[in-house]
Structure 1
Amino acid sequence: MVKRIVWAVLLVMSILLVWVGLAQQPATPVHQTTKHLAQGQASQMPLYTEKRLRINLARYPQLRAGIQRMIPMPGLQGAWALAKNKSATAPHRLIKTVAFDPQGITTSQNEIFVSAYDHNNKANSVIYVLNKWTGQYIKTLSLQFQDHAGGVAYDPDRQMLWVTGHDGKDSMLYGITQAQIDQYDIRSRLPISYQQVFQITTETNNSTMMYANNALWVGYFTKRGLGNIQELPFGKDASGNLTLGQSAGEQDESIVAATKVYASVGQLQGLTANQRHVLMTSSFGNVDGKLVRYDREAGDKFTKGVSVTMPPYLEAVSYDGDTNRFYMIFESATPVYRVKTKAVVDRILYVDNDVFKTGVTPFTPLLQPEFMDLTQPKTIK
């Protein structure tokens, strides 16, 4: 009798272990091509049901408690894109890909923007546009010149979407007007045009960005040590043209330098702020990431740092206006990473401040900002 009970208990435990193990394995996509998509579209079919995703997040109770909404990430089951091409005017080929990797996120009043690059290196980077209220995919913007698009930030004062980039030599910032976004159609086989272009001399690379206090704040990722965040305020020249930061070119006002530089968290992936707080994400590889929050005080001081543990492959974060709620994205659902971790997150997560109610740990305070020399901009390494 005792043996039967023991065997029964072992059988039940085995079934539970198998069920949990299977539930946390990467899902098998329903389709791996864009065969069923209209030309120019991106699939918004998720890899998981919401129930199964919550099982995957069982090790992260703070995150699960804070989730208010989950929006399927476009492109994970396939997307149309423009074939890799440096030309801004010659028609590109429309191609199908299943390897887009989400990188940055930002929002306007009515839309969500998510940047992504092609892990197979066959397509130009893209920005997915979604309806902020319904979560539905609207369109795909194909970017000029960009193999690996990173940070994005929406500037409501100028109705402009800003994108971090690199032209092969220098760090760049590209501005796209809302009017251009509204009229763009990838089926034209042309990349979207840029209405503003700035070269940053004080940043060797840039990977994340936010808009706050009439300025762009640009940061970059480093595997070791602290990165930095550089502040570039907007202004106008004598002719009324838009300026950014401080001029670093003798005759060219599109060559600019930052006015302030801040130390950032290590392995910086994402950056956002509202009137009360600054959020940064720190993550690299298949190990738990960190969501770090600082109080934002007068004089641009970031104090009272705390962090909470997040799943691996944490990327960008973006506050929803001046609320304490924010959007988060992960790159763990990308094909190359979804086989490496059980905590795959295939949705845009809309999270409230409850994520910081329990399980937080103090985090290293940041140094006060360093003011840059207006006449002799230096490179921060």
Structure 2
Amino acid sequence: MMHLEKRTTFLLTGCLLLLSAALWLIFGPAKTVTEQAITQSRQVIYARFTLPHLKRDLGYYQGLTPASFGQYAKATQSGTYLVPDLDQAQMLKKTPAGYKAYTAEMMTPQGGTVTPDYVIVSAYDHQRQGNSILSIMDKRTGRHLKNIILKGRPHVGGITYDPEHDLLWVCGRKKARAQLFAIKLTTIRQYPADQPQKPIQYQYSTLLKSITRASLVSYHDGALWIGYFNIFGDSNVQSFQVSAVIKGREKAGVKLTARNIRSNELKSEQRWQAVDKIQGLTFSDTRAYFSQSYGLDDSWIYVFATTGRPQQFTPEKALLKIRMPAHLEQITLDGNRLYAVFESGAKAYALNAKTRIGRVVSFDIDTLVKEAKQNDDAKAQ
């Protein structure tokens, strides 16, 4: 009996060795991760974000191709900007010993805005390890210039450029309250492009008393319009005069404590009910444009008249709805050009998304509205 058990054990061991050898011959030895492998991985990921892929994805939606490729075919990258470092962002991570270099592999883009020189996209680390960042791209060439490291890990759902004060305003969160902070454009220009040692310095920071969370922000006519994203009901938008935010607010380096936190809170001047699930807001002289998205469903842009100061921005008040790909985040107007940020290019969402857009896409707003109206008229006939 013992000889039989030994023989059986011997045969099983032999079979396992033969199987291991066969697998080694088929698949080869275990491979270590190399710089070449990382580069190849990035090439595979970013191959999904080529212009032909984008044109295909936009083609699923009425009017988007004429408003983008049809208007900006001769522009650099057809008027688009590849969002950098979605899978290999070099940043900082705060540890008990101080800030350490860290590579984030799952960045999720959120906000976007435009200055005279830059296209700027905000993003957070989906794994909640590294600090949130701003990616700075050259507006003319689309070249990625640098990443700006922010303090902490805010969701950074909204950013906006204030041309009157040459400031970039960013939505944040501090002391479990909605926060808004500002960075000078000169500070952004001077921030090191390689191996920064600490997050960028803020010029102003304030807490927002009258809003639960600062989900999005847009500068318009001397005011900062800040919105609260709500899944289960109507969202709301509130306006804050920039002069009030700047005057007497927390200057850089002032630490908030339980004693002075109330004096740093700012209450809005006006408040409007808005469509649910809002992600972005931008203005022309006579119109307001809200982006709405959540989950895998199609996104929408709601168009409202702003003459006469409307009391609410709810669906029944909209002049027009424009269907967009899923995962649309912030939108911003620069002249006649609407810039749109999508999060479907992020690793966290790319596998399940019908469209994978890893670029900031610009649309001619007149063409976009015209195409949407024609589509509505065709359906009505």
Shorter-chain TM-score bucket reads 0.7 to 0.9
Query: 2:107 matched to which residue of 1?
Result: 100
- Spell out, residue by residue over 1:12-68, the C-alpha distance to the aligned partner (whole angstroms, 9 max, x if none): xxxxxxxxxxxxxxxxxx98847999xxxxxx9563321122112321131122113
Q: Secondary structure at the match of 1:53?
A: helix
Distance 2:354 2:208 in 1: 39
The number of equivalent residue pairs is 316
Over aligned residues, Cα RMSD in angstroms? 2.8
Distance 1:46 1:272 in 2: 31
Query: 2:169 matched to which residue of 1?
Result: 162
Distance 2:208 2:60 in 1: 41
Does 2:239 correspond to 1:231?
Answer: yes
Q: Secondary structure at the match of 2:66?
A: helix
- Spell out, residue by residue over 1:287-318, the C-alpha distance to the aligned partner (whole angstroms, 9 max, x if none): 10101111221335666521111111111100
Distance apart, 1:80 and its partner CA: 0.5
Distance apart, 1:81 and its partner CA: 1.1
The more displaced of 309-318 and 185-194 is 185-194
Q: 2:130 touches 2:153 (CA, 8 Å); kept in 1? A: no
Does 2:363 correspond to 1:351?
Answer: yes
Q: Secondary structure at the match of 2:217?
A: strand
Distance apart, 1:268 and its partner CA: 0.4
- Spell out, residue by residue over 1:241-284, the C-alpha distance to the aligned partner (whole angstroms, 9 max, x if none): 4669xxxx999653210010011111000111121211110000
- The structure 1 residue matched to 2:117, chosen from 110, 114, 117, is 110
Higher Cα radius of gyration: 2
Distance 1:251 1:147 in 2: 19
The more displaced of 155-164 and 61-70 is 61-70
Distance apart, 1:220 and its partner CA: 1.4
Q: 1:332 touches 1:346 (CA, 8 Å); kept in 2? A: yes
Q: 1:84 touches 1:121 (CA, 8 Å); kept in 2? A: no
Q: What are the ranges of 5 or more consecutive residues in structure 1 without an aligned counterpart?
A: 1-29, 38-43, 363-381
Amino acid at match of 2:359: R
Distance 1:341 1:291 in 2: 19
Amino acid at match of 1:49: T
**Mapping 1:146-225, distance limit 5 Å:** 146-185=153-192, 187-225=195-233
Distance 1:31 1:319 in 2: 40
Structure with the bigger percentage of helix = 2
Q: Secondary structure at the match of 2:368?
A: helix
Query: 2:48 matched to which residue of 1?
Result: 47
Distance 2:339 2:197 in 1: 31
Moved over 6 A (4+): 34-37, 249-252
Distance 1:178 1:334 in 2: 27
Query: 1:339 matched to which residue of 2?
Result: 351
Distance 2:242 2:342 in 1: 30
Distance 1:160 1:112 in 2: 14
1:91–1:181 CA distance, 2 compared to 1 (3 A): farther
Does 2:300 correspond to 1:287?
Answer: no
**Mapping 1:24-103, distance limit 5 Å:** 33=38, 47-67=48-68, 68=72, 69-84=79-94, 91-103=98-110
- Over the matched positions of the two proteins, sequence identity in percent amounts to 27
- The structure 1 residue matched to 2:331, chosen from 305, 313, 317, is 317
Q: Secondary structure at the match of 1:218?
A: strand
Query: 1:296 matched to which residue of 2?
Result: 306
Q: 2:128 touches 2:153 (CA, 8 Å); kept in 1? A: no
Distance apart, 1:176 and its partner CA: 0.6
Distance 1:277 1:191 in 2: 36
Q: Secondary structure at the match of 2:99?
A: coil
Distance apart, 1:91 and its partner CA: 4.4
Distance 2:94 2:59 in 1: 39
- The structure 2 residue matched to 1:256, chosen from 266, 282, 306, is 266
Q: What are the ranges of 5 or more consecutive residues in structure 2 without an aligned counterpart?
A: 1-34, 73-78, 251-258, 377-381
Query: 1:272 matched to which residue of 2?
Result: 282
TM-score, scaled relative to structure 1: 0.76
Distance 1:352 1:79 in 2: 31
1:304–1:195 CA distance, 2 compared to 1 (3 A): same
TM-score, scaled relative to structure 2: 0.76
Distance 2:90 2:200 in 1: 15
Distance 2:369 2:37 in 1: 37
